[in-house]
Amino acid sequence: MFQSGLAAHAGASMTFSGALEPFGRTLLAADDPRPLHDMQALLRPEVLDALLLKVYGPTLMASHLPVLVSQWSKYYFMQLIPPVVAADLLGDGQWPLALDQVSLALDERGLPAGIRFGSGVRAPSESPEPFAGLLDDNLQPFIDALAAYGGVARRVLWSNAGDYLETCLGQLRLLTEVPLDAGYGLLEAEHRPDGRGNPLFKAVSYVGEPPRRQRRNCCLSYQVEWVGRCEHCPLA
């Protein structure tokens, strides 16, 4: 059964209401008129070239491509992670998350501005790990593609995803009494159940007194002056 604030509708679609409404804001309604772009197509090098050139311009494209790729990935994670995490933790609706089942709307600059999942239902995972589908079907191939394209370390992109996941868990903790142990456990486990290293391990820590939120890996934004240093930067 869905918890209060989460409602199932036809197929695998879902709406968020009440206090949970912000977690569904990135989901595109069926009648949304904006053009949709297949996620796999968007990750082709020639398409990424055109997108990032439009967003950031030729000078930065030539000199700071890893930074640009890191920043663009954040916008994708902002569309993907809130509804998926909320639905997985608070309900039983599971969208198909493979990249060929995900489409994006882009704003006028070329930044992700809305997401739609396929109409099917995600096959039950054989893994006992929470969010295994999110990691294996979506984040892993997405991050692999961007890392290969932009020459950016995978740990940077995983840190971007983990940063936003931890933020969402913190917001959910204020809105629901449903246990969030599965979400926080994902960030605390050094290894996945099958023995693989967990790329989201300790993505965010709280250090010092009073505690200061700190990412495990830098997102590289400090390298571009007008972007500036992230407030949770781990660099001194």
d(C-alpha 61, C-alpha 118), whole Å: 32
pLDDT of 60 strictly over 50? yes
Q: Give tens-digit pLDDT for 164-176.
A: 999 999 999 999 8
Q: Write the pLDDT tens digit of every residue in 87-118.
A: 888 876 678 999 999 999 999 999 999 999 98
Average pLDDT score over residue span 179-202: 94
CB atoms within 10 A of CB 69: 20
| Closest residue by Cα to residue 188 from 212, 174, 204 | 204
Report the alpha-carbon distance of residue 11 to residue 44 in Å, rounded. Answer: 30
Q: What is the DSSP code (8-state) at residue 124?
A: P
Residue 236 CB neighbours (<10 A): 3
Checking if the pLDDT of 123 tops 60, the result is no
The token duo for 8 is 């199932």
Q: How do residues 1-54 score in pLDDT, each as one tens digit? A: 334 455 543 333 456 888 889 999 999 998 999 999 999 999 999 999 999 999
Q: Where are the domains of the chain?
A: 18-223
pLDDT at 225: 80
Name the architecture of domain 18-223.
Orthogonal Bundle (1.10)
Nearest to 97 by CA among 72, 78, 70, 125: 125
Closest CA to 160 of 102, 100, 232: 232
145 φ, ψ (degrees, to nearest 5): -65, -45
